[in-house]
Amino acid sequence: MNGRLREWCLGWALWRAPKPVLVLVTIVNVAALILTATLTPATRVTTHELLLFGILAAGAWISMELTRHIERRRVYGHKSSVAYIDTKAVWSFAAVIVLPIALAAAMVVTTYALAWWRVKNNGRPGIPFRWIYSCSTVLLGTYAAAAVLAAGMENYPGTPGSADMSGLIDLGAIALAASLRWGINYVLVLAAIAMADPTMPTRQLFTNFSEQLLDAGALGLGMVTAAVVVNNPFVIPGIVIAMVALHRGFLVHQYQLASRVDTKTGLASAGWWHEYADQMLAKSLERSETPGILIVDLDHFKSINDTYGHPFGDEALSAVAHEILAEIRDQDACGRWGGEEFVVILPNMQTESDVIAVAERVRRRIESLVLISPESADQPERVPLTVSVGAALYPIGNKISLDEFLLAADGALYSAKRGGRNRVRLAVSESQQRSALPHPHSKTEPAS
């Protein structure tokens, strides 16, 4: 038995993680263990508090049973590069408010154990160290929240006071405790994700930041649960029903997000980009701004796939996508148009020179990118990448649709391909009858 346990522990992905991740995970886990060992033995627990703990634990278990099929779909579709959101906080934060610190910590561990048993470890290999690390971050947040509540609430542990100034102060302390608990967990999880992949763009870390509103909702529902379990535990089934509805909202949001994101590059899908760009174009025209558009095509992509295989081709697509995102502004919108093509809409460009400047920066950035082929490690081959870019500026005084705008950029891209690739071509309307001057060292020309 000990041999099996040792083999299981040695097989953890933690030991293959980057050293900064290993150090952070170890520090956080040890800190959680030390605080637990220090704070919990001195806690006095009454029979009534044990009863409340049992009610909350039962509510957590029943809600997980009713939502585990939904949660398994969410876990299966979750990307490890973004923070994971669920609703365990409803029960564990309620415990922080109405139970002593030892039982509050026990509720955190109980909810994580239930979730691992009934949801996470569903016949597929899990990654235990991530689950344990996440539990440790919540424990640290729980201890910090308990300290705030002990200092700020008149009767802690317990529910807020009556509807007077003391009750208002109690609510303020609970709000501060919830914010602190969430902040500690979120920052530590993001730190681990960032350390696991230092090359990850910062914006990707906050891909699902809007979902944190759902986490805030779970904490708010936890405050309601605390009041309910103390004053009328028979209303707990209503909380469970709300949990089921909240989980369905989670799943719908995840499906919506999946339909909008290209899985290979992390960029917007073609359909979602077109919808978003159409709205952006309309807003630009309302504000009398002149948008630009780029179509970026990875040169010799078929040859890359044929020579090095499709997995390496996917790696090249992902690398190009990251470089484009790193070069454009936050207000620009980039999507994968299909195959090896990417498309970018650039609001408020004003002049052709502005569009050309962005296109040239993208082209040069990718031209400097070199990938290592998946050949033998003895003689790795450096694979350079280049792109051709078709650019267009929205024609002033000549209202056209987004599709017509794209067609102009596509024509310029075709001209760049015919001109030898690894260059920028600008679509010039007949009414303008002029072309922007290219940079002295650029490969930019007006499309004929």
Q: What is the pLDDT of residue 168?
A: 81
Strands 370-372 and 382-384, by their bridges, are antiparallel
Contact of 145 with 182, CB cutoff 8 Å? no
Q: What is the pLDDT of residue 339?
A: 86
Residue that is written with structure tokens 């081709």 in the block: 313
Q: Does residue 184 sit in the same domain as residue 292?
A: no
Does residue 265 fall inside a structural domain? no
Per-residue pLDDT of the chain (448 residues; tens, 9 = 90+): 566 666 666 656 667 777 888 899 899 999 999 999 998 887 788 899 899 999 999 988 988 888 777 666 555 544 554 455 667 888 888 999 999 999 999 999 998 888 887 766 554 445 677 888 889 999 999 999 999 999 988 888 887 766 566 778 888 888 899 899 988 988 898 888 888 777 766 666 666 666 666 777 778 888 888 888 888 888 888 888 887 777 666 655 555 565 677 878 888 888 888 888 888 888 888 878 899 999 999 999 999 888 888 888 888 999 999 999 889 987 888 999 888 999 999 988 888 999 999 999 999 999 998 888 876 445 667 888 999 999 999 986 677 889 999 999 999 999 999 989 999 999 875 444 333 334 434 455 555 4
Q: What is the pLDDT of residue 381?
A: 78
Q: What is the pLDDT of residue 431?
A: 42
Give CB contacts under 8 A, 24+ apart, made by 184-187.
Answer: 184/137, 184/140, 184/141, 184/144, 185/134, 185/137, 185/138, 185/140, 185/141, 186/83, 186/212
Q: Does residue 34 sit in the same domain as residue 71?
A: yes
Does residue 320 fall inside a structural domain? yes
Q: Does residue 7 sit in the same domain as residue 126?
A: yes
Q: What is the CATH number of the domain that holds 394?
A: 3.30.70.270
Nearest-angstrom CA–CA distance, 448 and 444: 12
Does residue 27 fall inside a structural domain? yes
| DSSP code per residue over 350-401 | -SHHHHHHHHHHHHHHHHT-EEEPSS-TTS--EEE--EEEEEEEPPTT----
Does residue 264 fall inside a structural domain? no
Spell out the residues 6+ positions from residue 144 whose beta carbon is closer than 8 angstroms to its own. Answer: 177, 180, 181, 184
Q: Does residue 276 sit in the same domain as residue 217?
A: no
Q: What is the pLDDT of residue 257?
A: 60
Nearest-angstrom CA–CA distance, 296 and 299: 9
Could you give the count of Cα atoms lying within 13 Å of 362 in the half-sphere of its Cβ? Answer: 33
Name the CA dihedral angle for 304, 306, 311, 316, rounded to a multiple of 10 degrees: 10
Q: What is the pLDDT of residue 270?
A: 87
Longest distance between any two alpha carbons in the chain, whole Å: 86
Contact of 239 with 228, CB cutoff 8 Å? yes
Indicate the residue among 224, 259, 294 that finishes a domain: 259
Q: Does residue 279 sit in the same domain as residue 245?
A: no
The DSSP H or E segment spanning 424 is strand 424-427
Contact of 22 with 130, CB cutoff 8 Å? no
Q: What is the pLDDT of residue 29?
A: 92
Does residue 359 fall inside a structural domain? yes
> Token digits for 29?
């886990």
CA distances (Å), 385 to each of 26, 163, 327, 379, 424, in order? 40, 66, 16, 19, 15
Nearest-angstrom CA–CA distance, 221 and 93: 9
Model pTM? 0.57
Q: What are the phi and psi torsion angles at 348 (to 5°)?
A: 55, 55
Nearest-angstrom CA–CA distance, 260 and 271: 7
Nearest-angstrom CA–CA distance, 70 and 83: 18
Indicate the residue among 259, 292, 327 that finishes a domain: 259
Nearest-angstrom CA–CA distance, 346 and 341: 16
Q: What is the pLDDT of residue 122?
A: 52
Q: Does residue 385 sit in the same domain as residue 419?
A: yes
Does residue 308 fall inside a structural domain? yes
Q: Which domain holds residue 410?
A: 270-446
Spell out the residues 6+ positions from residue 436 whose beta carbon is closer than 8 angstroms to its own. Answer: 351, 352, 353, 355, 356, 426, 444, 446
Q: Report the interhelical angle of 236-260 vs 47-77 (nearest 10°).
A: 20
Q: What is the pLDDT of residue 258?
A: 59
Indicate the residue among 204, 224, 259 that finishes a domain: 259
| SS3 annotation, 89-111 | HHHHHHHHHHCCHHHHHHHHHHH
Could you give the count of Cα atoms lying within 13 Å of 439 in the half-sphere of its Cβ? Answer: 18
Q: How many domains does the chain have?
A: 2
Q: Does residue 68 sit in the same domain as residue 145?
A: yes
Q: What is the pLDDT of residue 9?
A: 62
